[in-house]
Structure 1
Amino acid sequence: MSERFPVPPRIQERALINRWEEYSRLYRESLENRDDFWATQARLFLTWDRDFSQTSSCDYRTGTIEWFSDGQLNVSKNCIDRHLVSRGEKPAILWEGNELGERKTITYRELHSEVCRFANMLTNLGVSKGDRVIIYLPMIPELAYSMLACARIGAVHSVVFAGFSAESLGNRIEDCQAKVVITANEGLRGPKTIPLKSICDEAVLDAQSVKAVVVVRRTSNRTEMKSGRDFWSEELLATASPECAPVVLDAEDPLFILYTSGSTGKPKGLVHTQAGYLLYTAFTHKFVFDYHEDDIYCCVADCGWITGHSYIVYGPLANGATTVMFESTPTYPDPGRYWEMIDRLGVTSFYTAPTAIRALEKEGEIWPEKYSLESLRILGSVGEPINEDAWLWYYNHVGHRRCTIVDTWWQTETGGILISPLPGVTETKPGSATFPLFGIDPVLIDDNGKEVSTTPGKGRLCIRDSWPGQSRTVFGDHDRFFDTYFREIPGMYLTGDAAERDSDGYFWIRGRVDDVLNVSGHRLGTAEIESAIDHCELVVEAAVVGIPHEVKGTGIYAFCIASREIRSVEEAEFEVKNTVRKVIGPFAAPDHVQFVTGLPKTRSGKIMRRILRKIASGDLESLGDISTLADSAVVEEIVSGRKR
């Protein structure tokens, strides 16, 4: 679809950037004088304990990325302390609990006290600068307190999504050698109760590095506690001082590790550092969401993912914003949950994923039409490319054609948004992320490794030159970082995504070019899922591919070779799905499991996933040449047994 939607006049009138000429001039300057541009922004957006003299030192030939390296600051101080004089009584966090009516307002002054208490609690447990702290919590205020407390004392946090299994949690604890784990006795998500402490107990069973497990009491249910290791947070906090001086840190000291799926089985612990990351999240939050002082900003992501880090906690709080933290689900207790909250709080900017939009679209426009939604100005989309139907439903029935949709493209690795409309200047096209933000130079690379300079054009999406929010390394494995992102295309950051640039210069993201699936906005490596299936004793070999899914965007289809005769296919399929639930988490369970006698392999033993993808998605007319397969007969058998 090439229809363009103009900027609504009411948005343009008060936008921070409201003329295309202004965007073009600033964008050009940001590329031509990159260091000067970012040095200016760094001094505008951040409060420094020691100013920097060098803006950047980046070399993609070695994967070396440094920004403001001789500067010093504290992220927690930038997100809280500096706001106390002018914004002390302003709401910092509006927490919306799982149950309708369960809510809490935390002012900047209250946030300061809570974060200081958490910081002192961690210090009293022996945590100091550079130590790793795993945070395995639901979307409750204590999650933000824990993150900011780590930042305050220079500890490195690693938030693990509270839907991950004990094995996934344990792997992350082991990889980063966490000293302390912060969890809750239970998590609440819609009608479900998640036994977080029990999962954590299993995960830390053999974790030699863990000295303490701090447990936040989320429910009143009985909880098993191990003496000497497990501590209730309320008891530790009762004796912790509400004052804690922020530790002055180097700009390139690590802030957090966040694990993300790769094309190989082992998740990557991506490291983000202090100053560059905070600058980039604050900068992009301000301009992409056209942030004004009186806005109520609401991102309904989870802090277990990068979106929650960047656009619930760090970016908004650095800007002194009021940010909403949402614990529940879009449809609990009914599909009007988001819309009721938007009206009650007067939300001005709303940021969610296409998966949620599609799920709510299926419930019908009757739900958003029950509410006025008049406060909304900006509607954001994140996690995967949004399809045209969902974009139009969002625009018409939530935004009432009065809001700008910012379809944002970015990654865990990028730290913040790279390609997105700017609300006051960009005419939007449904499904297009539109144009790069300041300082971002996207490049399309063809199959021969050459730059595609034509418009229109398509290829693998790369980014030329660095930006402050870029991840610095993979924890403990810089070679993997370099090999994954920089080795193949010298001088470029390889995103792993395919993209198209249309005749108007708009960018369209076309999905992954590697074996990574985007399921409901969660990145999952096919190798990771296959490795989980290997834990099932019924399966001797498995191959996983993605298929189109009307709600999740991408579904998971698993082809499995049984280790023995199967008496009940239904029970065997359940066993495979349940194994993945236990090893990774419920969100990674396959939608379809098909048992086969063999997989299509080349004579060298390589699985032909291209063929499996076509079969799984029902594209049976264009399987291509199968004569190179070691046993082409397996294709016919797989086709005949395909799950509809």
Structure 2
Amino acid sequence: RIIIYLPTIPEAAIAMLACARIGAVHSVVFGGFSADSIRDRIADSGAVAVITADGGYRRGAIVPLKKNVDDALREKTSVKCVIVFRRTGNETHMEEGRDVWWHGELEYVDANCPPALLDSEHPLYILYTSGSTGKPKGILHTTGGYLVGIYSTMKYVFDVRDEDIFWCTADVGWVTGHSYVVYGPLANGATTLMYEGAPNWPEPDRFWKIVQEYRVNILYTAPTAIRAFIRWGDQWVAKHDLSSLRLLGTVGEPINPEAWIWYYKKIGGGRCPIVDTWWQTETGTILITPLPGAIPTKPGSATLPFFGVDAAIVDEKGSEVGANVGGKLIIRRPWPAMLRTIYGDKERYKKQYWSEFPGNYLTGDGARRDEDGYFWIVGRIDDVLNVAGHRLGTSEIESALVSHARVAEAAVVGRPDEMKGQGVVAFVTLKGGVNPTSELKEELRNHVGAHIGAIAKPDEVRFAEALPKTRSGKIMRRLLKEIASGATVTGDTTTLEDFSVLTTLRESEE
């Protein structure tokens, strides 16, 4: 198993494909994750090598990737070798006997590398995703089924043609980058475009400049990005010729109808179909989606299941619900690219996905179907937040907060956020004698950033004398969610142990 910790540059795709060719299992770690996150993934996967770069570029600054790897390897790990690609040219420590330069190693090999003969069920990659229990789980995908899934969805969902320039704006460290930056387009013979950097650097028209310059035909991006473009203003879009576009896609979270309509009119010029796709790290490929030109779309709906996908919405007992009734989204029959296990944790795999409705895959998402049978995805039903299309486990953020010397207890919940879909709100109880200050709030935000990555920093830290708990000692997150989103606390509070806690939290809100 090999960890790949690179920016979204061609070498990331090359490293992934090289692993696949020799039958090594790759595990790509998002370049925005910290040393702690890398260490956790090395420990869980037992990786023997890391492929990284001296640095990456983000908003004109250098992200010190190799330094993060060095920090992750400070204590003894299973890693024997680190291959470093020279990207930014910043000063880089090279450990004798362990670290080698990518360009140096190229001198010892030629281009002849026969592919390893593998069983179709041979593992292709492990990709870690946040779970509701705190420890990231390694989703395992295999060679044959995954390829069938990404090849067919790429071909039919995006109506992809040989001459197309396809741009999926995801980072290669997420499943969208695996499936629709690397494997999907290349398996179909399309040209894939990779971009390292932010959508608003150096200016908010960065994406539209790229679309115009490279004559991009198909654009696949996230609702979070679309909402940001709307906020930055139409003038940035108007400066560019986007006539090369013929199809638009969205991924990562449900898209609100207003953003869908803006995307359709302003970016697609009212002529490009939009494919609003629903899928997960676990599913490997798109499962619910319109087919362009074949399935009429509705702004905000992922429409209908892809070929062979048997999706249903059920109540707590597992009975299918009627039109416009909310419930849990399940998949009733296997599909080629499904996850095969959680690496090293078969019990968790069974419990998390297959135990609630035996024989059916539990997605963890809530949804409803309208009178036309179209699926409307509402979002997560567990303690996993969807922040800007990235899944973050609340308990992972809570663990990071509690590891701070001044924190006694923490509870993390999501609140609606116009830009990111969900914002992160942390309720924190401090240890005795510690004063709650605005400096400490900032310190705690940065502490989470250092432990997990900037993406997990709470948008808001609220100090509380105590957290609302049931008599059995469980934190009542539902109440905190209502307080965080500014709603009136409703529903059952009979199991609340100490009502004064709720009053204090409400008062601090005011």
TM-score normalized with structure 2 length:
0.98
Q: 1:194 deviation in Å? A: 1.0
Percent of aligned positions that are identical: 55
Alignment-derived partner of residue 92 in structure 2: 223
User: Deviation per CA, 1:30-76, whole angstroms, max 9, x where unpaired?
Assistant: xxxxxxxxxxxxxxxxxxxxxxxxxxxxxxxxxxxxxxxxxxxxxxx
Query: Do the aligned partners of 1:174 and 1:207 also contact (CA within 8 Å) in 2?
Result: no
Alignment-derived partner of residue 507 in structure 2: 640
Residue among 354, 361, 364 paired with 1:486: 354
For this pair of structures, how many residues does the alignment match? 510
Residue among 291, 307, 316 paired with 2:185: 316
Question: Aligned letter for 2:503?
Answer: E
Q: C-alpha separation between the residues in 2 aligned to 1:564 and 1:577? A: 20
Alignment-derived partner of residue 398 in structure 2: 530
Q: 1:300 deviation in Å? A: 0.8
Asked which structure has the greater RCO (Cα within 8 Å, sep 6+), the reply is 1
Alignment-derived partner of residue 325 in structure 2: 457
User: Are 1:509 and 2:509 matched, yes or no?
Assistant: no
Alignment-derived partner of residue 540 in structure 1: 408
Which runs of 5 or more residues in structure 2 are unaligned?
A: none
Q: 1:499 deviation in Å? A: 0.3
Alignment-derived partner of residue 162 in structure 2: 293
Change (3 A) 1:627 1:568: closer
Question: Aligned letter for 1:366?
Answer: Q
Aligned 1:182-201 pairs, distance under 5 A = 182-201=51-70
Alignment-derived partner of residue 119 in structure 2: 250
Alignment-derived partner of residue 77 in structure 1: none
Question: Aligned letter for 1:279?
Answer: V
Q: C-alpha separation between the residues in 2 aligned to 1:267 and 1:208? A: 18
Alignment-derived partner of residue 175 in structure 2: 306
Alignment-derived partner of residue 629 in structure 1: 496
Q: C-alpha separation between the residues in 1 aligned to 2:297 and 2:329? A: 20
Higher deviation after alignment, 456-465 or 517-526: 456-465
User: Deviation per CA, 1:403-429, whole angstroms, max 9, x where unpaired?
Assistant: 111110000000000001111112111
Query: Do the aligned partners of 2:139 and 2:282 also contact (CA within 8 Å) in 1?
Result: yes
Alignment-derived partner of residue 577 in structure 1: 445
Q: 1:490 deviation in Å? A: 1.1
Alignment-derived partner of residue 407 in structure 1: 276
Q: C-alpha separation between the residues in 1 aligned to 2:116 and 2:76? A: 28
Query: Do the aligned partners of 1:173 and 1:207 also contact (CA within 8 Å) in 2?
Result: no
Alignment-derived partner of residue 497 in structure 1: 365
Q: C-alpha separation between the residues in 1 aligned to 2:394 and 2:324? A: 31
Q: 1:457 deviation in Å? A: 3.0
Alignment-derived partner of residue 424 in structure 2: 556
Q: C-alpha separation between the residues in 2 aligned to 1:412 and 1:192? A: 30
Helix, strand or coil at the partner of 1:325 = coil
Aligned 1:376-395 pairs, distance under 5 A = 376-395=245-264
Question: Aligned letter for 2:507?
Answer: S
User: Are 1:372 and 2:215 matched, yes or no?
Assistant: no
Change (3 A) 1:364 1:289: same
Query: Do the aligned partners of 2:129 and 2:281 also contact (CA within 8 Å) in 1?
Result: yes
Question: Aligned letter for 2:268?
Answer: G
Which runs of 5 or more residues in structure 1 are unaligned?
A: 1-131
Query: Do the aligned partners of 2:398 and 2:410 also contact (CA within 8 Å) in 1?
Result: yes
Alignment-derived partner of residue 469 in structure 2: 601
Question: Aligned letter for 1:198?
Answer: K
Query: Do the aligned partners of 1:566 and 1:572 also contact (CA within 8 Å) in 2?
Result: no
Please say which structure displays the higher CA radius of gyration: 1
Alignment-derived partner of residue 335 in structure 2: 467
Alignment-derived partner of residue 26 in structure 2: 157
User: Are 1:272 and 2:131 matched, yes or no?
Assistant: no
User: Are 1:240 and 2:240 matched, yes or no?
Assistant: no
User: Deviation per CA, 1:215-265, whole angstroms, max 9, x where unpaired?
Assistant: 111112211111111111111112221111111110000000000011101
User: Deviation per CA, 1:58-112, whole angstroms, max 9, x where unpaired?
Assistant: xxxxxxxxxxxxxxxxxxxxxxxxxxxxxxxxxxxxxxxxxxxxxxxxxxxxxxx
Q: 1:207 deviation in Å? A: 3.8
Q: C-alpha separation between the residues in 2 aligned to 1:564 and 1:393? A: 51
Query: Do the aligned partners of 1:536 and 1:575 also contact (CA within 8 Å) in 2?
Result: no
Alignment-derived partner of residue 212 in structure 2: 343
RMSD value over aligned CA atoms?
Answer: 1.1
User: Deviation per CA, 1:120-178, whole angstroms, max 9, x where unpaired?
Assistant: xxxxxxxxxxxx00000011111011000000000000000001111111000111011
Question: Aligned letter for 1:503?
Answer: E
Query: Do the aligned partners of 2:257 and 2:299 also contact (CA within 8 Å) in 1?
Result: yes
Alignment-derived partner of residue 200 in structure 2: 331
Q: 1:536 deviation in Å? A: 0.9
Question: Aligned letter for 1:575?
Answer: E
Helix, strand or coil at the partner of 1:406 = strand
Helix, strand or coil at the partner of 1:250 = coil
Query: Do the aligned partners of 1:459 and 1:498 also contact (CA within 8 Å) in 2?
Result: yes
Change (3 A) 1:624 1:487: closer
User: Deviation per CA, 1:265-293, whole angstroms, max 9, x where unpaired?
Assistant: 10110110001001100100011101112
Query: Do the aligned partners of 2:468 and 2:475 also contact (CA within 8 Å) in 1?
Result: yes
